Structure 1
Amino acid sequence: MTQRAIPEQALIVLLGIDGAGKSTAAKEVEKLLHGTPVLVLGNYSGRKTILALAQRFKVPLPVHVSDVLETAVRVFNVLLNHRRAARFGGVVIMDRHLYCQLALRKARGIRRSRALSTLLRLLPQAQAVVYFDITAEQAHERITLRGEDQENLGDLEKFRMGYAGLPWYPGFILLDAGTGIQSSAAQLKQVIASVTARAEALAPAATHGQ
């Protein structure tokens, strides 16, 4: 008897500046993928928490020190979440990844870490790396409206350029994130459908004769 493959097995990574709508779109797409097991994992750096603690205790936080702390938190979360992903049999959506820290480093004028780049190559590769493309102005407007964060418009633009300057950027799938969360979620669903369709097409060769 031929064993049916699970075409929905996939690893999708979401990237983009703050305010691009990555986290919200990831939650929305869960509702759109009816009957498909989905696991959303956040590879956060703890940047906001680190900054808040530094301000609370009035501790100066040089940019290089901040980067070291954020990188440690990000790497821990990425490794932990890849371990979780390996045990899951459906669509894994990773909100942020090591690319984000590398883009932040470019934005801050810090030399790219060879260790991070090497780790990125060694980790399981995503079937799709999706970049939520949005202008710094649109992202800043969204951040201002939700009233939870304080992001500088200039820093958002530098972060955006940091992503564009990554060597992996040409291979990213660009998603138009400026047209609203529902549109972003619908576009993300299409990306996932394309990935799972490719997996399904390859399944007969892998399961033939079983």
Structure 2
Amino acid sequence: MFKIEQSAVREGMGAKSMIMEAYRALGANLVNQIGKEKSGIVVFAAPDEKTNSVSVVQNLAFVMMEMGRKVLVIDAELRNKALTRESNKETAEGFAEWLLGETSLQGATQKDAMRHFEIMPAGKKAIPAGMLARKEIENAVQSLKDVYDCVFVLTSAMDETADALMLGQVADGAVIVLTAGKSRKQVAELAKEKLEVAGVKVFGAILSEYDVKTSTKLDGYYYMYKGRGKSANIR
């Protein structure tokens, strides 16, 4: 399990920051699991609404771009649209229109103004129930590997919809995102079980907003990130 102090990539977050080092270690771990010479699609799944995965995914996308990878972040969180709202893209075409065939990949993606990786906003349209489970969706999502090295997909909380399960089935795997002091061990374990039962490979989990100075144990999880070059998968 990676435990990371949550912070966006902003001015003042130096290259030697512990936070950045943790994200770099996590990025290296993901590359190793996906395959160094392969493109990968990863779903980021939050067990419930207590966790906001946006900053975690933004930071990870930034460090993956530092590693020379072309990155796309998709806002598939079709209810709250947190990334879309933060990026002020509420009126832009995006994921929904792309899946519905109403716009091209180029028309559905934009550069993130601050971090320079590409984002696909949620879009304006509603996606019909069950559409994410269709075979053509798998083909569409997998085709992104022809353009990008890393595709990170933000999904709605697992206690709200089955989107993380359906998108996880067409991705290479999933990462569970938890929040220190809010996410409970039992909820995290249930999320992992749901993903595995659905046939989704679970790469691991990230515990954000972790205070390394004051915490040694939290909700049954131990601090396992040991520093540069020693990443750990989560169990």
Q: How would you bin the TM-score normalised by the shorter chain?
A: 0.3 to 0.5
Which structure shows the bigger proportion of residues in strand conformation? 2
Which structure shows the bigger proportion of residues in helix conformation? 1
Which has the larger Rg?
A: 1
RCO comparison, higher one (Cα < 8 Å, 6+): 1
